[in-house]
Chain A
């Protein structure tokens, strides 16, 4: 199993550009989520999904869109990049969305810089 994969690993954008961060998992996990990590702020939840076709907002959803057309894939779209979106982005998945014991498996992260 590859686990959770993310592409690209690094990306530089100009303000106003759009792009999609890719996330895929091969563990048949129901639950997938996107976090951003900024210095001194831990990981903040952007969007999450409890299954194909079902998504919801997290703590910091503005400026981002997601969709979940398959169980495996959960792309994150930046609509119009801003310097405030410079961050490290992590995708994570867990087996189920119900039940509090569900360890999250993380991807390697995408380091995004917006100029």
Chain B
């Protein structure tokens, strides 16, 4: 069963506008972590932000914030004030706790295009 779902294969956003990239997950483990990574065209994987299942507040890192809705099992990435350099592939990932063997699994990704 698909555990991480990213339903948007591609997204367009105008420069300086905000954009939300969707991610839903499925787990029965009460302890888990959610991650977002950026992969620019150069190919490297860049860690952006983390949210723990027990965290009460949504995570923020600069222009990135994670809209965590635990009951809906969603962990959407919000990028504020988009820049041309934000054009990249974005992956949502989840690491489960002991039930899942502490493995990290990834979604299929969303390609973001920022227009000037």
Contacts and interface: CB of A to CB of B under 8 A. Distances in A.
Given A42-B109, A43-B91, A48-B103, A103 B47 contact: yes
A44 B31 contact: no
Interface string B83-99: 00000000101011110
Given A40-B108, A42-B106, A58-B103, A90 B45 contact: yes
Contacts of A109: 43-44
A115 B4 CA distance: 32
Contacts of B32: 100
Contact of A42 (B33, B91, B97): B91
Given A43-B91, A100-B53, A101-B52, A106 B45 contact: yes
Given A45-B103, A100-B33, A108 B109 contact: no
Interface residues of B, number: 30
A45 B105 CA distance: 7
Contacts of B103: 33, 45, 48, 58
A50 B98 CA distance: 13
A11 interface: no
Interface of B: 4, 6, 9, 31-33, 35, 37, 43-45, 47, 50, 52-53, 91, 93, 95-98, 101-109
